[in-house]
Amino acid sequence: MPAAESGVTLVGVPLEVDPAVWLEPVRGGYPDLRLLGLSGEEQMAAFLGGRAPRPPIHHLTGMMPTEGGGGASTFTMPATPWLQAPQGPVLPGALVALADGPLGMAVQSALPPMTPYTTAEISMNYVRPVPADGGTLVARGRLILAGRSLGLSETLIEDGRGRIVAHGTSRCVIFDPLGPPPDPPPELDPVPAPEHPTPDPYLRPAAGAVIPQETWDSSSGLEVLSRHLAGELPAPPIAHLTGLRPTAASEGMATFVLPASEWLCSPLGRVEGGMIAMLADTVILSAVQTTIPAGTSFAPLDLKVNFLRPVSPDGRDVTGRGTIVHRGRTMAVGHADLTDADGKRVAIATGTVMILPDRPWQPQSPVVPLDESGEGPAPSD
């Protein structure tokens, strides 16, 4: 297309999707502040015992803690079609959203009462794609160490067949205690499950569609993204679920926005860092996509995100801009810059992507980076 040849930036119109789940009234709640008087280990026990409401992100995606204690934490999330990328598998960044839970809670388990913490950095290595077949993803986190001001943790994510699909690490900043612990709170009663007129979003049939194989075979990556921007191709399910959508693209660059919806909130009442990482991963992969010819596939290898400030659920767009730092024959490195609606930078990220020249997308047999040849980058890389 001429735009690909000239480097013209393609700007899309606002994406209209129906349903727009992220615009529905939010579900879920946040823990009783008296829980802060408990140790991190005791807080985890309260969550697992149902003595705190499930946060909004649970109702949106089905993500939830299932085990915790002794420096370990386990979260699960169904690999539903809602999480599909345009190519068909689960969006790789959705794995970071899942990883954020056990990585943080593993550090939290070592903290005394009244001690806040925040995730400063997450690094992920992707091993294999995840089919959106409804199988249960399991992320097991463990504490590596926790000092006075820093905590380190790691997680392995397995798919429904027990295969490792990703490995992640995290660095958390631990703050000084907010004050002396209050008197131990009384035993909190279990929070009853709320009743809603419809199933939670992740339990409903997914809206949207993936891009047909013939489109990938006949169109360059930039042509596919430009057709998304023009509304000529259907929005993928993840766009209907979260509002994640492209707004501009040119060769080597892609911009997406993600509404800072309360649906994306963790128990802390802020947009979960893993969802911000999902935006970063998306714009890096999409920037690489703008450089590939028809009949060529690619696969993410890693992602590193540095979080700079929290994101409040004000409903306004967080903008991610992905650019290519290096493009070789078989490897590309991308950078992401994420800003909130006030123009303040909230995160930066880098990621590596494997490119497979003349290898078409195969939705039924996607690329597994672990099984690719060990030849490494070509000399031109």
Q: What is the pLDDT of residues 21-42, one digit of tens each?
A: 999 999 999 988 888 888 899 9
Residue 381 lies in a domain: no
Residues 109, 143 contacting (CB under 8 angstroms) = yes
Residue that wins the pLDDT comparison between 369 and 83? 83
**Are 361 and 218 in a shared domain?**
yes
CA 315/CA 332 separation, integer angstroms: 33
DSSP 10-31: EEPPPPP-SS-GGGSPP-----
Task: Enumerate residues 6+ apart whose C-beta is below 8 A from 80.
Answer: 61, 62, 132, 134, 202, 206
Residue 353 lies in a domain: yes
What percent of the chain clears pLDDT 90, i.e. is strictly above it? 72
**Mean pLDDT within 243-261:** 97
Angle, CA 238 vertex, CA 235 and CA 239 arms, to 5°: 45
Find out whether the peptide bond into 19 is cis, omega within 30 degrees of 0: yes
- Residues 287-303 have pLDDT tens digits of 999 999 999 989 999 99
**Are 35 and 141 in a shared domain?**
yes
**Are 128 and 255 in a shared domain?**
no
Residue 187 lies in a domain: no
**Are 15 and 100 in a shared domain?**
no
**Are 14 and 36 in a shared domain?**
no
According to the model, what pLDDT value does residue 10 have? Answer: 56
According to the model, what pLDDT value does residue 191 have? Answer: 83
- Which of the residue ranges 15-19, 148-152, 260-264 would you say has the lowest mean pLDDT? 15-19
According to the model, what pLDDT value does residue 377 have? Answer: 43
According to the model, what pLDDT value does residue 185 have? Answer: 63
**Are 52 and 118 in a shared domain?**
yes
**Are 44 and 93 in a shared domain?**
yes
**Are 213 and 360 in a shared domain?**
yes
Domain coverage including residue 51: 26-174
Write down the pTM of the prediction. 0.91
Count of structural domains within the chain:
2
Residue 375 lies in a domain: no
For residue 103, the Cα-to-chain-centroid distance in whole angstroms is 14
Tell whether the model's pLDDT for residue 167 goes beyond 90.
yes
Q: How confident is the model at residue 380 (pLDDT cuts 50, 70, 90)?
A: very low
Buried-state track 38-75, b at ≥16 Cβ within 10 A, e below 16: bbbbebbebbbeebbbbbbbbbbbbbbbebbeebbbbb
**Are 17 and 58 in a shared domain?**
no
**Are 47 and 9 in a shared domain?**
no
Q: How confident is the model at residue 13 (pLDDT cuts 50, 70, 90)?
A: very low
CATH assignment of the domain containing 118: 3.10.129.10
Residue 135 lies in a domain: yes
CA 283/CA 288 separation, integer angstroms: 9
**Are 98 and 168 in a shared domain?**
yes
**Are 242 and 127 in a shared domain?**
no
Residues 26, 194 contacting (CB under 8 angstroms) = no
